Amino acid sequence: MDIYRGKRLSVEKKTVALPNGSEMERVVIHPGGAVAMLPVEGEFCYLVRQYRFAVGRYIYEAPAGTIDEGEAPDETAHRELIEEIGMKAATFIPKGYIYPSPGYTDETIHLYEARDLSLSDEYGMDDDELIEVVKVPAADVRRMIEDGEIVDAKTICLAYRCLV
């Protein structure tokens, strides 16, 4: 049973059968798929410092975005990199995917390392995005994670998969 259905998100209440044979009622959020990229240029990475209203503050993140209907994840990665930091990447290296909160959502985030960067003249973020692009030495990313400056899960996963 649909509880809510919006443009990019739906919330469903359903009865699920567990592997042990029992059934229970659960609410599942279906936000659609997403991508996140860690742009790497030499010894530096590009992050965004973005205001996130759900947590009420700015946080450091890898550029990311939602997959449009009919769009492949790698197409979304190309588009979102341009939209969020104004750069193109000649090379996208797939780094797998993650389930950010599998206890209540089926969201999948596809991860990429973006290399061979160049400026794009197509730059233009969405109206609801408050983003500052930050160039960070790759060596500082681990410290930022350990110090709690980077708390975004997809960014921590990307740092682990791209910089270790």
Q: Which has the higher per-residue pLDDT, 122 or 10?
A: 10
Average pLDDT of every residue of the chain: 93
Instruction: Please state, in angstroms and rounded to a whole number, the distance separating the CA atoms of residues 107 and 10.
Output: 11
Question: How confident is the model at residue 129, as a pLDDT?
Answer: 67
Predicted confidence (pLDDT) per residue in 32-44, tens digit:
999 999 999 999 9
User: Domains in the chain, start-ordered, CATH in brackets?
Assistant: 33-96+108-163 (3.90.79.10)
Q: Is the pLDDT of residue 125 over 60?
A: no
The mean pLDDT value for 104-112 works out to 96
Residue 97's pLDDT is 98
Q: Name the residue among 155, 146, 163, 157 with its Cα closest to residue 49.
A: 155
**Alpha-carbon torsion (59, 61, 64, 66), positive or negative:** negative
- Write the CB contacts of 107 (distance below 8 Å, at least 6 apart in sequence): 29, 30, 31, 32, 33, 34, 99, 100, 101
